[in-house]
Structure 1
Amino acid sequence: MPVIFAPLFRPVTYARWLHLLIGVVFAGVVVLVYPGTEGVSALRAAVLSGAVDVVLLSAAAMIPAVRRAEGVQARLLLAPEREESIGAAPSAGWRDRARTAVWLIARVGLGTLVGIATVRALTVGAWLVGPAPGPGALLLPAPAFALLWLVVFAGRLQLWLAQTLLGPSAAERLAEAELRAERLLERNRLARELHDSIGHALTVTVLQAGAAREVADPAFRERALEAIETVGRRAMEDLERMLVLLRDAPDAVPAEQPGIDRVGELFEGARAAGSPVEADVAVRGAELPGVLSREAYRIVQEGVTNALKHAPGAPIRVRGRVEGGTLVLSCRNALVGGGGKGGGKGLRGIRERAVLLGGDATGEAVDGEWLLRVRLPVRLAG
Structure 2
Amino acid sequence: MPRILAPLLAGATYARLLHLMVGWIFAGVLLMVYPGTYHKGLGEIVVASVCVDAALLVLVALVPAARLAEGVQARLLLVPDRERDISAEPSRTWADRRRTAGWLIGRVALGSVVGFATIFGLTGGFDLLSGADSLRYLPLVPPALFGYGWLVVAAGRLQLAMAVRLLGPSPAERLAEAELRAERLLERNRLARELHDSIGHALTVTVLQAGAAREVGDREFTAKALEVIEETGRRAMEDLERTLVLLRESPDADSPATVTERPGVEQLPALFDTARAAGSPVEARIEVSAGELPRVLSRESYRIVQEGVTNALRYAPGQPVSVRIAVRDGQLELRCANRTAVAGAGAVRPAGGTGRRGGKGLRGIRERAALLGGEAGAGASTDGAGEWVLAVRLPLRLGS
The TM-score with structure 1 as length reference comes to: 0.93
Aligned-partner Cα distance in 2 for 1:87–1:250:
30
After TM superposition, the structure 1 = structure 2 runs for residues 198-347 of structure 1, keeping only pairs within 5 Å, are 198-249=199-250, 251-252=252-253, 254=258, 255-336=260-341, 337=343, 338-340=349-351, 341=353, 342-347=357-362
Cα deviation for residue 125 of structure 1 reads 2.9
1:355 maps onto 2:360 in alignment: no
Aligned-partner Cα distance in 1 for 2:386–2:93:
64
Aligned-partner Cα distance in 2 for 1:93–1:159:
23
Q: Which amino acid aligns with 2:101?
A: A
> Which SS does the other structure have where 2:393 is aligned?
strand
The answer to whether the Cα contact below 8 Å between 1:37 and 1:49 also exists between their aligned partners in 2 is no
Q: Which amino acid aligns with 1:181?
A: A
* Matched residue count: 382
C-alpha distance after superposition, 1:216-249 (max 9, x if no partner): 4333222222211111111111111111111222
Q: Which amino acid aligns with 2:389?
A: L
Aligned to 2:185: 184
Q: Which amino acid aligns with 1:280?
A: R
> Which SS does the other structure have where 1:176 is aligned?
helix
Aligned-partner Cα distance in 2 for 1:63–1:258:
52
The answer to whether the Cα contact below 8 Å between 1:277 and 1:318 also exists between their aligned partners in 2 is yes
Aligned-partner Cα distance in 1 for 2:317–2:334:
21
Aligned-partner Cα distance in 1 for 2:117–2:377:
73
Aligned-partner Cα distance in 2 for 1:265–1:80:
57
Aligned-partner Cα distance in 1 for 2:64–2:286:
57
Aligned to 2:146: 145
Alpha-carbon spacing, 1:266–1:381, altered in 2? closer, same or farther (3 Å): farther
Query: What is the identity percentage for the equivalent residue pairs of Structure 1 and Structure 2?
Result: 62
C-alpha distance after superposition, 1:311-331 (max 9, x if no partner): 111111111111111111011
Cα deviation for residue 102 of structure 1 reads 1.3
Alpha-carbon spacing, 1:91–1:251, altered in 2? closer, same or farther (3 Å): farther
The answer to whether the Cα contact below 8 Å between 1:259 and 1:285 also exists between their aligned partners in 2 is yes
Cα deviation for residue 266 of structure 1 reads 1.0
Aligned to 2:346: none
1:380 maps onto 2:385 in alignment: no
Unaligned runs of 5+ in 2: 344-348
1:19 maps onto 2:34 in alignment: no
Cα deviation for residue 96 of structure 1 reads 0.6
1:103 maps onto 2:121 in alignment: no
Aligned-partner Cα distance in 2 for 1:285–1:90:
48
Aligned to 1:80: 80
> Which SS does the other structure have where 1:283 is aligned?
coil
Cα deviation for residue 48 of structure 1 reads 2.8
C-alpha distance after superposition, 1:77-129 (max 9, x if no partner): 22431222221211111111111111111111111111111112222332343
C-alpha distance after superposition, 1:235-294 (max 9, x if no partner): 111111111111222655734221222112211111111111111122223222222221
The RMSD of aligned alpha carbons is 2.0
Q: Which amino acid aligns with 2:59?
A: A
Alpha-carbon spacing, 1:215–1:250, altered in 2? closer, same or farther (3 Å): closer
The answer to whether the Cα contact below 8 Å between 2:350 and 2:380 also exists between their aligned partners in 1 is no
Aligned to 2:10: 10
Cα deviation for residue 38 of structure 1 reads 4.2
Aligned to 2:195: 194
Aligned-partner Cα distance in 1 for 2:28–2:269:
78
Aligned-partner Cα distance in 1 for 2:77–2:98:
23
Aligned to 2:386: 368
Alpha-carbon spacing, 1:199–1:66, altered in 2? closer, same or farther (3 Å): same
Q: Please, which moves more after superposition, 213-222 or 185-194?
A: 213-222
Q: Which amino acid aligns with 2:375?
A: D
The answer to whether the Cα contact below 8 Å between 1:354 and 1:374 also exists between their aligned partners in 2 is yes
> Which SS does the other structure have where 1:88 is aligned?
coil
After TM superposition, the structure 1 = structure 2 runs for residues 27-176 of structure 1, keeping only pairs within 5 Å, are 27-130=27-130, 134-176=135-177
C-alpha distance after superposition, 1:14-46 (max 9, x if no partner): 222121111112112222333343454443333
Q: Please, which moves more after superposition, 305-314 or 212-221?
A: 212-221
Unaligned runs of 5+ in 1: none
The TM-score with structure 2 as length reference comes to: 0.89
Q: Which amino acid aligns with 2:362?
A: L
Aligned-partner Cα distance in 1 for 2:61–2:151:
28
